[in-house]
Amino acid sequence: MIKLKINNEEIEVEEGTTILKAAEELGYKIPTLCYQEDLSITGSCRICVVEIKGQQKLVPSCATAVEEGMEIITNSEEVKQVRRDIFELIIANHPFDCKLNCLTCARHGDCELQEVAQVIGVEEIEYEFIEKEWDTDTTSPSVMRENTKCITCGRCVKTCEEIQHAGVLTLTNRGPATEVSTFMDKGMGNVDCTNCGQCLTACPTGAIHEVYRINEVISALHDPDKHVVVQTAPAVRVALGEEFDMESGINTEGKMVTAMKKMGFDKVFDTNFTADLTIMEEGFEFIDRLKNDGPLPLITSCSPGWIKFAEHNYSDLLDNISSCKSPQQMFGALTKSFYPEKVDVDPADVVSVSIMPCTAKKFEAEREEMTDTGYQDVDHVLTTRELAEMIKEYGLNFVNLKEEEYDDPFGISTGAAVIFGATGGVMEAALRTAYEVLTEEELGNVDLEMVRGFEGIKEAEVDINGQTVKVAVASGLENAHQLLKHKDDYHFIEIMACPGGCLNGGGQPISNDSDVLEKRREGLYNTDKEREFRKSHENPAIQKLYDDYLEEPLSEVSHKYLHTHYHK
Ligand code: HC1
């Protein structure tokens, strides 16, 4: 252990602890910009400098380990002045006149740059604003980069490389010309970007944000000739409340349904319905492959960031990936096929909207494969944040809204569906159904804890009819990359692009609560426990859909609308 003093207070910490972390233990929050807990440390922004008694130079506290007997001052006048000077240099080419720009900024209200400016006491900026000449990158269907707001902290670059194993962003040039860019400056839509949006949740400013589709949705709602339906993904309901100062993890689905009905959506449906449908189709696909020698492992297909990653990096595995479309796309296909027939509406007049915690869903909806109905299955995808924005624009007092139910015929769902939103949830849901179908016995305990939790890679073995079925779960694409080195050890693999699963998607509210993911996760599992049905094959509305339209899992009509193939 190392003994030292911080601001004259004694503390003992483990060897290797950084000054930043040691100060945190004593209750001092040193401002940072380039530092992020789960990324490698570069100490490049220098905002977190502190003074060490006896040393002339200030040191970055995030990148300096404590030493025996050190005496550290985190808040001397010199330290504060140097931080202010550094801050001015960082934002010399950032549009810091927030009176003009902040109102339209994606991070209006939760910009880390503003927060740091307040903490270090910036009162006026002496430098004149230097307009950057770099273009806004609009090449991606999912995310947009506005380099003028970039402070080159490098968090997006490291997230893309270290957590997502994609490495499509890089810092180019030197000195004041430094910028974040892509290979040959081609733009994110023209490189191997997975559209996961983890870069935008890492960004401290509004330099990266989703491609907005709110205006298109509002236009459709105002068009009297359009029949606008909406679906809401599992993970949205436990995070939306955060945008209205509600506690993370509270299931807001009832208020969300009411809000969207007030906005004028003709029908409000639940993606959970097609999560159940996915389990029927994917569960039976797994059973079929298990009985008929593969190809195994079967790998899940509902995360579009993972699919794009596989297309770029694992094209040899495309036959292992389930042919099921994602629940979002299955839903879209039903809203342009079965649904218009049922309610006697021209499918050309149906506008299918989805609310997703994920930016890659915007890309997925625009894939050319997603048009088997003769129409684009899903027309517009909004993130959880965009839905919150719309609710505010409509002047709705979200917290006080009464709670309404989802509409039929796609309103009933099971507990198995809602846990799709957490890493391991798709696997647990699939096993609940596969076990009962294969053994024709009731599963005693449906809580399959062994695939739950936030570890990046999880493994489990399940005995089904005397056969040991080996399964694995990975979330975060670096973890997926590591797991796939041993893919042949398993029968069934779940992969979600975002660490922790969709509850941590690139479209979710950006939170500074360190427990936010755990709270959202608990919200999903609590909802599962409260559901009348907890296994997808027990969903009466799914059973009716098979009776009325799809006939049986993997039928011809199922294959036509609910399955697809991906390409190298
Ligand atoms: Fe997900 Fe899925 S769980 S991919 O994380 O399979 O986005 O929530 O909607 O499609 O159902 C996301 C969440 C989501 C799909 C489902």
| 382 and 336 co-located in one domain | yes
Question: Ligand 1 centroid to 357 CA: how many Å?
Answer: 8
Q: Which of 231, 256, 282, 303 to mutate to test the pocket of ligand 1 (most atoms within 8 A of CB)?
A: 303
Its ipTM equals: 0.93
Domain boundary pick from 90, 124, 151: 90
Task: Verify whether residue 24 is a known catalytic residue.
Answer: no
DSSP characters over 54-99: T-SS-EETTS-B--TT-EEESS-HHHHHHHHHHHHHHTTTS---HH
97 part of a folded domain: no
Say whether both 147 and 245 belong to one domain. Answer: no
Q: How far is CA 394 from CA 166, 219, 397, 486, in A?
A: 38, 14, 9, 50
Residues 402 and 480 in one domain: yes
- Paired with 269 in beta bridges are 231
Is the domain of 45 the same as that of 179?
A: no
Q: Which residue, among 449, 456, 390, 374, has the nearest Cα to 232 in the 3D structure?
A: 390
Rounded to whole angstroms, the Cα distance separating 24 from 250 reads 29
Element (H, E) at 2: strand 2-6
Q: What is the pLDDT of residue 100?
A: 54
Predicted confidence (pLDDT) at residue 430 exceeds the cutoff of 70: yes
* Residues 150 and 273 both lie in one domain: no
pLDDT at 98 exceeding the cut of 80 = no
Tell me what the mean pLDDT of segment 491-514 comes to: 97
- For residues 200 and 180, the answer to whether their CB atoms sit within 8 Å is no
DSSP state, residue 108: T
Alpha helices, DSSP H only, in 195-326? 198-202, 214-222, 253-263, 271-291, 304-313
Residues 395 and 288 in one domain: yes
**Ligand 1 interacting residues, C-beta cut-off 6 A:** 233-235, 271, 275, 302-303, 326-328, 356-358, 361, 420-421, 501-502, 505
Q: Are residues 344 and 205 in the same domain?
A: no
Same domain? For 176 and 221 the reply is no
Q: What is the mean pLDDT of the chain?
A: 95
In this prediction, residue 131 carries a pLDDT of 64
Residues 537 and 523 in one domain: yes
Q: How many residues does the chain have?
A: 568
Provide the residue range defining the domain that includes 505: 215-562
Question: Is 408 found in the same domain as 470?
Answer: yes
Do both 333 and 294 map to the same domain?
Answer: yes
pTM, entire model: 0.95
Amino acid letter at 13?
V
Q: Are residues 290 and 196 in the same domain?
A: no
Question: Does 307 reside within a domain?
Answer: yes
CA distance 30 to 73: 11
Confidence of residue 128 (pLDDT cuts 50, 70, 90): low
In a domain, 278, yes or no: yes
- pLDDT single digits (tens) 503-526: 999 999 999 899 999 999 999 999
Q: Residues 461-467: what's their mean pLDDT?
A: 94
pLDDT at 148: 84
Tell me whether residue 122 is in a domain: no
Has residue 11 been placed in a domain?
A: yes
CATH number where 519 lies? 3.40.50.1780
* pLDDT, tens only, 156-214: 999 999 999 999 999 998 887 888 999 999 999 999 999 999 999 999 999 999 999 99
Asked if 285 is an active-site residue, the reply is yes
- Angle ∠(210,211,217) on CA atoms, nearest 5: 115
Work out the angle between the directed axes of helices 384-393 and 253-263 (0-180°, nearest 10).
50
Domain count, the chain: 3
- Residue 473 has a pLDDT of 98
User: Catalytic residue among 364, 386, 428, 436, which?
Assistant: 364
Could you report the per-residue pLDDT of 18-70, keeping only the tens digit for each? 999 999 999 999 999 999 999 999 999 999 999 999 998 999 999 999 999 99
Can you give the CATH number for the domain in which 6 is found? 3.10.20.740
Which residue's alpha carbon is nearest to atom 5 within ligand 1?
502
For residue 181, give the CATH number of its domain: 3.30.70.20
103 in any annotated domain: no
Eight-class DSSP state of 457: E
